Amino acid sequence: MHGHCSLLTATELGPDDFHFSSMNATEDITRYVLGGYHPVIIGDILRSPASSSSYRVMHKLGFGSYATVWLAQKTDASRAFFAIKITIADGLSNRETECLRAVLRECSSNIVTLADAFELHGPNGVHSVLVTDIVAPILSLLSSERSPHWRKKVAYDLTNAIAQLHASGVVHGDLHLGNVGISMPQLSTQDPEDVMQDLDWPELTLVLPTDHRSASPSLPAYVVAPCNMAAYYNKIIAGQGKHEPHAKIFDFGNAHRAGTQPTSFQCAIEACAPESVFARVVEQNENPPIEVPADVWALGAMIYEIFYGSSLFRGVGIRGVMSHMVSLAGAVPSQWEAHLLSAPPPDADAWWGSRRDRLRKACIDDQDTEALIGLLRKVLVLDPSFRPSAKVICRDIWFQKYRKIT
């Protein structure tokens, strides 16, 4: 791709201002500017003044709107692998570190462990760096071969994580399956050389400004496509016989103390709580509060997706979501009524009935399916004050049955 722009400053660069050697699923290079991503190349060493540890970047794990995430190896004799999240330099991202620290005090095993945290000063500003354990992204692991027990264990882990999070006074604020992974303790028992050999070789896309005068220390020499950690996970569990997953949640970029406002409103449509959608669409509130029950709705949405195989509101925009929510929940809060005059009367029994066969395929038996639907119908209610707490959900009959079996 060739551009014709002769602009000189990195902040004014657009995608047409670069030559690309290949196009992959990588972050937007125009965000490598002041206040944006930190430029990283494979082999970079990041030093933590906090712990005096150093980490060598070996591969890419992923990226989001607020960060790039790298597979790194400690440079000491342990050569242990970690995930290193380098946030954008927006001056706000240290909230994530604070929230993870608060949660850590509760010793939650279903939340990524914060092993180290420090600030990184680079050409684009000051970035927060979070060093955590590595997980395999669950969305790449939810194939039809997963057993009902595997799915239920993940659902239980997520419920447990959220109960622990809420017990420490923290609201996650952006729960969806894109922020869930399966723990990989096996990484610490494998020979590090073997791990690197088993991962796909880093795929690089050169970042070459069309005009050499646009070259800037803000830009990395290349961007890296994330490695396929899910394929690696499948490979290492293949020889393990019966494998029980251990799910963990990550990305606390929108986490905040209960009763306080998140930095910004961020909500994956498939897991966005009805009260947030109502505030956004009807009350035109750009930054609605996100409280504990919103996480519980998101939990219900995630459990539904783990078993149904696709998300609650696939392909529905934020405006259409309200009528879909009414259909599945049945009871309509009084403040919603005035805004739903043209909607058909909700028939939640029919909504769930039409999904029963597909849910059954992922469940143990008919009874298990009914118990799952019963639980989801208790959780996915429009009025946040009627939603059970995650702690109560942990004790639900659907989980009790599971706990007896294993």
Ligand X SMILES: Nc1ncnc2c1ncn2[C@@H]1O[C@H](COP(=O)(O)OP(=O)(O)OP(=O)(O)O)[C@@H](O)[C@H]1O
Q: Which residues are annotated as a binding site for ATP?
A: 85
* 3-class DSSP assignment, residue 243: coil
Residues 304, 280: Cα–Cα separation, whole Å = 24
Residue list, annotated binding site: 85
Q: Which helix (H) or strand (E) holds 293?
A: helix 292-308
Other CB atoms within 10 A of residue 397 CB = 10
Considering the complex, what minimum distance in angstroms separates the CB of residue 179 from ligand X?
Answer: 6
Query: What is the total count of residues that contact ligand X (CB under 6 A)?
Result: 22
x/- site string to ligand X, residues 241 to 280, per CB under 6 A?
Answer: ---------xx-x---------------------------
From residue 299, give the alpha-carbon distance in Å to each of 11, 277, 306: 39, 16, 11
Q: Which is nearer to ligand X, 36 or 178 (CB)?
A: 178
Is residue 61 at the binding interface for ligand X, with CB under 6 A as the rule? yes
User: Per-residue string for binding with ligand X, 343-382, x by CB under 6 A?
Assistant: ----------------------------------------
Instruction: State which of residues 103, 114, 135, 141 lies at the interface with ligand X (CB under 6 A).
Output: 135
Nearer Cβ to ligand X (130/381): 130
Which residues 109-128 are close enough to bind ligand X by CB under 6 A?
112
The CB-of-318 to ligand X minimum distance in angstroms stands at 17
Q: In what order do the strands lie in the sheet with 247-249?
A: 135-137, 180-183, 247-249
Of 64-103, binders to ligand X (CB under 6 A) are 64-67, 69, 83, 85
Q: Cβ 71 to ligand X, closest distance in Å?
A: 8
Contacts by residues 105-108 (CB-CB < 8 Å, ≥ 24 positions apart):
105/168, 106/164, 106/165, 106/167, 106/168, 108/160, 108/161, 108/164, 108/165, 108/168
CB 268 within 8 A of CB 178: yes
Least CB distance to ligand X at residue 229 (A)? 6
Cα within 13 Å of Cα(263), Cβ side? 15
Write the single-letter amino acid at 109.
S
Closest CB to ligand X among 28 and 366?
A: 28
Taking the complex as a whole, the smallest distance from the CB of residue 250 to ligand X amounts, in Å, to: 5
Q: Are 336 and 323 in contact (CB under 8 A)?
A: no
3-state secondary structure 30-42: HHCCCCCCCCCCC
The region of 60-68, 160-168, 292-300, 368-376 touching ligand X under the rule CB under 6 A is 60-68
* Contacting positions for ligand X (CB under 6 A): 61-67, 69, 83, 85, 112, 132, 134-135, 137, 178-179, 181, 229, 250-251, 253
